[in-house]
Amino acid sequence: MTFSLRAALLALVLLAPAAHAQAPRQAEPNTRVPEGDRGHAASAYPDRIAASPAQDAATGFAVAWRTDAHVRAPQLQIAPAEDTPDVGGGRARTIVATTQTLETRNGAAHQHRADVDGLAPDTLYAWRVQGHGTWSPWFHFRTATADAAPLTLLYFGDTQNQNTSLVTRVIREARRWAPDAKLALFAGDLVSGGGAGQGADDDEWAEWFEAASGLPEDIATAPAAGNHEFHEEHEDTPQERRVLSPHWPVTFALPRNGAPGVEATTYWFDYQGVRFAVLDGTSILDLGTGPAQAQWLDRVLADNPHRWSVVQIHQPLYALRADRDYTSLRAHLAPVLRKHHVDLVLQGHDHAYGRRALDAEGETPQLLVSVAGAKQYRIGPQALATMAPIAEDTQLFQVLHVDGAVLRYEARTATGRLYDAFELHDHGGRKRLVEREDGRIETRRCTREGSLKGRADRCWE
C-alpha cells in the first residue's frame, strides 16, 4: 500500500467519529411557513370552518368561516340529513352570514358568522357554507338532546406550538378513542402568536385548523381564550396594555352571553344535562375583570337546572410551575365554585399535567391542568406536594363521559395510554370521587437537563 493511500485511510478513520457525531438538537419552527411566504392567504373557497354550540345546544349552533375579501354576506345552507345525495331536495334553509374584515400578514380576509336556531333536538343536520362562486362540502352536525342524555366530550390543554407538526397526532388519537364525542373543549393558547396583526399568528391559526381538521366542522367546539390570544400594545411604555387578538372574536362563533366588559372571551351554554361556563383568566389577572366575571359566573351557576357543571379557564387556580401563583383567580372564583358545587374546572397554561381538589378536605371541584402541545414545563415543589397524579414531558388529551349520575374522566397520552382516571358519583346532590387505578401507566417526569433553548424550567420547546 502506498504512503499516500495509507495517509488517506488514516485520515478517514480519524475523521469518522466527527462525521458520525450527532448535531445538537434544534428547536423546530413554530410553523412550516417559509419567511415571506403567503401560502395561507384567504381564497374564494371557504376555509377555517368551525361550528360552536349555541346557548341552547339542543336547538342551535353557530358557524364561523373565512374567505377572501370578494365574499360579502355569504350564505349557510342547512337541511335535515338524509341518505339521498340531493341534500335538502332544493328546500334547504338559507341563513345569510354577517361579515368582518381581518387584515393580517397574509392580506385581507373576510370572516363570516352564521347563527342557526330553531332546530329540532337530537337531530342530524347537513350544512355547508358559501364562498365566491363555490361552496364547502356538506358537513353533518347533530344537535344536543333536549334533556339529560349520555354525553361524550373531549378536553384539550394548550396546543399553542408546532400545531401541524406535533398536535395533529394528539387530536387524531383523541378522535379514535372518542368517535362519539359531540363536544370539544380547548383550554386556551390555541396558538402562540398573540395577535399582533402583522405577526405570524395568522399562519399559526392556519396550522391549528390543519391540525384539528375534521374536528371543528363535525363537533361543537368551545375554546377558552388564553394569554397568547392577547398581545401587548405600546409595550415598554406608560400606555402598555393587554389587547385581545383581532383573530379571536371572528375565528369562532361563540355564544354572545358573556360577562360585562369581557363579552368576547366569556360565555356559557347547556349541553345534554351539563352547564358549561367559560372564563377569561388573562382579563382577571391583567385587566381587573375578576369581580365582573365572578358575579356573572354566580348568576350563570345559580340558574343551572342540571345535575352537572363544568367551568373552563386558561390559567389554573393553583400553579404547576414554581415561579407562578394565581392568587387573584382563587380570590375571585373559589367562593363561587364552592357555593355552587362545581364538578370540574378544566385548565391549561402551565404546560404539564396535574390534578387536585379545590380544597384539601374536599372532593369537588376537581381542578385539572393539561397540555396537548409541544411546549412542556417542569413542575414546581408546591404542585408536587399538592397534586396527584402529575406528568411532565407528556402530550395528553382527555375524554369525559357523562351518563346519568356518573361522570367518568380519562386522561390519555398522545399514544392513547391511560394516565389518569376517576369518576364522580352523584348521590342526591352530593358528589363522591372514585379513583380508577387499573390500567394507568407510571408517572412520567422530565429527564432532560434543559429545553432545546437551554431553559431549566422547561423540558421541551
237 pLDDT more than 80: no
Nearest to 242 by CA among 231, 255, 253: 231
Average pLDDT over residues 373-398: 97
Report the share of the chain in percent with pLDDT over 70.
91
pLDDT in tens, 70-94: 999 999 999 999 999 999 898 999 9
Taking residues 175-201, report their average pLDDT.
Answer: 85
Please report the pLDDT score of residue 449 as a whole number. Answer: 86
- What is the pLDDT at residue 18? 43
Confidence check: pLDDT of 141 > 70: yes
Q: How confident is the model at residue 24 (pLDDT cuts 50, 70, 90)?
A: low
Which pLDDT belongs to residue 453?
A: 85
pLDDT at 31: 86
Look at 29 and 335; give whichever has higher pLDDT: 335
Q: What is the pLDDT of residue 413?
A: 98
- pLDDT score at 234: 59
228 three-state secondary structure: helix
Alpha helices in 101-183 (DSSP H): 168-177
Strands (E), 198-331: 220-223, 230-233, 241-244, 267-271, 274-278, 308-312
> What band does 9 get if pLDDT is binned at 50, 70 and 90?
very low
Residue 429 or residue 177, greater confidence: 177
Predicted pLDDT at 28: 80
Q: Which pLDDT belongs to residue 240?
A: 64
Instruction: Give the pLDDT confidence of 369-378 residue by residue, as tens digits.
Output: 999 999 999 9
pLDDT band of 238, cuts 50, 70, 90: low
CA atoms within 13 A on the CB side of 101: 6
Q: What is the mean pLDDT of residues 351-368?
A: 96
pLDDT at 228: 94
CA nearest neighbour of 445 among 368, 367, 388, 373: 388
| pLDDT band per the 50, 70, 90 thresholds, residue 4 | low
- pLDDT score, position 36: 64
Percent of the chain exceeding pLDDT 90 equals 83
The mean predicted confidence, pLDDT, of the chain is 92
pLDDT in tens, 292-340: 999 999 999 999 999 999 999 999 999 999 989 999 999 999 999 999 9
Long-range CB pairs of 458-461, under 8 A, 24+ apart, other chains included: 458/351, 458/375, 458/376, 458/377, 458/378, 459/376, 459/377, 459/378, 459/392, 459/393, 460/374, 460/375, 460/376, 460/393, 461/27, 461/161, 461/374, 461/375, 461/376
- Assess whether pLDDT exceeds 90 at residue 3: no
